[in-house]
Each structure stands twice: as structure tokens, then as C-alpha cells.
Structure 1
Amino acid sequence: MKTPILACLLTALALPALAEKADANKPIEIDANAYKGNALTQGVEYTGNVELTRGTLKVRAGRAVVKEDEQGYTYITLFADPGKLVSFRQKRDGGDLWMEGEAERIEYDDKSEVVKFFSRVKLRQLEGTRVTQESTGEHFTYSNRTEAFSMINDASGTTREGQPRVRTVSQPKVIKPAGKQ
């Protein structure tokens, strides 16, 4: 493989605030109730309570499909079980900072270094347990190469009139009075 299966997903999931750099040197662990693969198609499907872990990154899904192309690029799609969501949580560099979120489906393309979240997307930045920013929408895209990101109001990735609007709520910074710890 050109890069580890989730190498860019790790930083991409952290949005503009980079994921903990040490995670890039950690092994990827995938636990599931079962998996099946096909050497001819270079694909593996994990099913049942799928848990992907790499350092501080924890992803939970109902099913994960991992494929590799002829050039060694990896493509991963994480699916939620019916009525549930794929979820992730990862530490960010610096202090007790975290990124977490959820969606019905998450796709990662190693070749383009793009991660996409589909349907019922919710992303949160936290300081400890305090949510400092939360964004919701139906389609979220992040490019690891350009660090560009977008939230769209329709799961198709196209803005549609009449659909619910995207929303971001940012909390004010907690400023400690001078002389207080």
C-alpha cells in the first residue's frame, strides 16, 4: 500500500486542527465479528460491531469495506447499522483537545486524500468534555492535501433549496482572569 489504510483519514477527521501526530506511527487494529476477503479483487469486508483503532483514533461502524487498487491506493467505506451512525473520536495535538463525530456513512479515498461523510453528519471539537464547536449537515468533505472542507445541506454533495440548512455553533473561549490558574 502507498500509505497505511487510515493514514490520511486520521488527520482528515480532525478537520483544520491536526490529529495527534503520534497516531501516524501506531498500528491499525480492526476488530469485528467476522471478515471475508477476496485476493483477486483486493477487498476485505468486516461485519458486526466493527471497531477501528489507531493510537487515539477510535471508529465504530456496523460494517467496513476496504479495497486496494493496482497502484496500492486504499479505499475504505464505513457503514452504520440501520438506525445507527458510524462514530469516531480522536485526540488532537495540544492539551486535552478532541474531535468526534458521526454520520450514516464515511468514505475515504487514499488516492485523492479526501474523506466524505454522508447523512446526519455531526462534528464536534472538544476541550476536555466541553464542546467548543459543533457543525451539522448532510454532507461533509475534507481534503487532506489542500486542507479545504465543506458542509452541504444534501447528502448528494449538492446544495439544494428547501433542504435543512447546515449549522455551526462555536462557543466563546474561556478566558481565565489574570492571576488565576
Structure 2
Amino acid sequence: MTPKLLTCLLLTAFVGVSGIAHAERADRDKPMNIEADALRHDELKQTSVFTGNVVMTKGSIVLRGAQLDVRQDAQGYQHGVVKAEPGKRAFFRQKRDTAPGAPEEFVEGEGEVIEYNGQTDDVKLIRRGQLRRYTGGKLSDDIMGSVITYNNLTDVFTVDGEKRSNEPSSAPAGSGGRVRAILAPKATAAPSPSTAPAQPLQPSGTLNLQGK
């Protein structure tokens, strides 16, 4: 078995242990609330720049960082880019829907830059990306890579590995690095006859993963 295939299988295992939860579907339609130390708004360009201890909430979604650039496109969708202070990482968190009586689940992520796309409902964790899942307050899964993209609507994620220091800048992001995953085992309980399980978190078929 090749290292690349093994890595893909490990990420597939993440799907198997992710349970029957899925992201909060109502978050996409909630208003964006932002707190910061300062704001610069351009009405003509429909852009706003928030700086200093920025906290953005949108339903159960939370984004934190040093600076947040927000723009609104012609269709009315909001897009945000959160940047961390030098040497630190910005933060993302979202609650996931669970079956009645099941423990609460949250997805958390960090990256030097975090991009939120209101139209596609994607969250992208860029540079030193990390995506974690908590079940009942305990860490269940932990994935690390250079760039991690997580879709709130479909629960599909993609991960690119780190570049090597001697790679040319034109090389793909995951061409020489490793995606790291820590996956906790989870027993699968038989669903109640009256309760249909929700769609589990799914990996993208376009994962750019490669071993050493």
C-alpha cells in the first residue's frame, strides 16, 4: 500500500467516525454580527475593514482574528477574510446538528488567514491550517494541512499538505508535504426506526494528498 493511498484511507476513516451530525443549516441565512476596535467602511465599494480584536458571529459560526475584511457582492452575499496577528492564527468555530439526545458536536479550525464565502458557505483555513471536531466537549478528530477548505452546507472538506522549503513557488500546495490526521474510534449505534440519520461529513474526491 502506497503512502498516498494510506493517507487517503485515513481521511476516509474520519468520515466513518464523524457520526450522524452535520453543520447547522440555518447559519447561512443568519446576519453577520461583528465587534472590533476600529472600522473603515467604503459605501461605494461595499467593503468594510475591521481591526483590533475582531469577533464575527453568524448563527453558530464564530470567527476571531486581528483584522476582518468584509465585502458584499452584487447578489447580496457577504464575504469575509480574517487575518491573524504575526505569528498567530485566526480562529473558526461552528456547531453541528446532532440527533435528538446525542452529545453536542462542534467543528473548530485555525489558520493564519481564514476566508468565508457567503455564497458557497465555504470556510478556508490558509497556512498552518488545522480542523478539529469535538463531541460532548472531547476532541474526536484533528486534521492538519497547509490549506483546509470546509463547506458548511455539504460537510465536504479538502486538505492540501505543506510545501517543502526547496520547492519552487509554482509547485502545488500539497506536492511535497504531508496531511496529518488523528482519528478517534467511535462506536456506531443503530439508528432508531423513526429517526433517519443525517448525512455525515464527507471528503472531497479532489483531495490533493501526497506522501513523502
Q: Same fold per TM (> 0.5)?
A: yes
- How has the CA–CA distance of structure 1 residues 21 and 32 changed in structure 2, closer, same or farther, with 3 Å as cutoff? same
Which residue number in structure 1 is paired with residue 148 of structure 2?
A: 140
Which residue number in structure 2 is paired with residue 7 of structure 1?
A: none
Task: Give the Å deviation of 1:159.
Answer: 1.9
1:159 equivalent to 2:174? Answer: yes
1:169 equivalent to 2:188? Answer: no
Which blocks of at least 5 consecutive residues in structure 1 are unaligned? 1-15, 177-181
1:64 to 63, 68, 85: 68
Q: Secondary structure at the match of 1:137?
A: strand
Which residue number in structure 2 is paired with residue 34 of structure 1?
A: 38
Q: d(CA) in 1 for partners of 2:74 and 2:26?
A: 29
Which blocks of at least 5 consecutive residues in structure 2 are unaligned? 1-19, 164-170, 190-212
Q: d(CA) in 1 for partners of 2:49 and 2:146?
A: 25
Task: Give the Å deviation of 1:160.
Answer: 2.1
TM-score by length of 2: 0.65
Which residue number in structure 2 is paired with residue 51 of structure 1?
A: 55
CA-based RMSD of the aligned residues comes to: 2.7
Q: Secondary structure at the match of 1:120?
A: strand
- How has the CA–CA distance of structure 1 residues 65 and 51 changed in structure 2, closer, same or farther, with 3 Å as cutoff? same
Task: Give the Å deviation of 1:115.
Answer: 3.0
- How has the CA–CA distance of structure 1 residues 99 and 167 changed in structure 2, closer, same or farther, with 3 Å as cutoff? same
1:20 equivalent to 2:20? Answer: no
Percentage of matched positions with identical amino acids: 36
Q: Please say which structure displays the higher CA radius of gyration.
A: 2
Task: Give the Å deviation of 1:152.
Answer: 0.4
Deviation digits for residues 79-107 of structure 1, max 9, x if unmatched? 11111111122221123211111111011
Q: d(CA) in 1 for partners of 2:172 and 2:156?
A: 15
Q: d(CA) in 2 for partners of 1:147 and 1:93?
A: 11
Number of equivalent positions:
159
Q: d(CA) in 2 for partners of 1:154 and 1:79?
A: 19
Deviation digits for residues 23-49 of structure 1, max 9, x if unmatched? 456443210001111111110000000
Task: Give the Å deviation of 1:62.
Answer: 0.7
The answer on whether the counterparts of 1:139 and 1:157 sit within 8 Å (CA) in structure 2 is: no
- How has the CA–CA distance of structure 1 residues 79 and 125 changed in structure 2, closer, same or farther, with 3 Å as cutoff? same
Which protein has greater RCO, CA pairs closer than 8 Å, 6+ apart? 2
Which residue number in structure 2 is paired with residue 121 of structure 1?
A: 129
Which residue number in structure 2 is paired with residue 108 of structure 1?
A: 116
Q: d(CA) in 2 for partners of 1:143 and 1:127?
A: 19
- How has the CA–CA distance of structure 1 residues 73 and 23 changed in structure 2, closer, same or farther, with 3 Å as cutoff? closer
Moved more, 45-54 or 93-102: 93-102
Deviation digits for residues 100-133 of structure 1, max 9, x if unmatched? 1111101123345443210111111111221111
Q: d(CA) in 2 for partners of 1:22 and 1:141?
A: 20
The answer on whether the counterparts of 2:132 and 2:141 sit within 8 Å (CA) in structure 1 is: yes
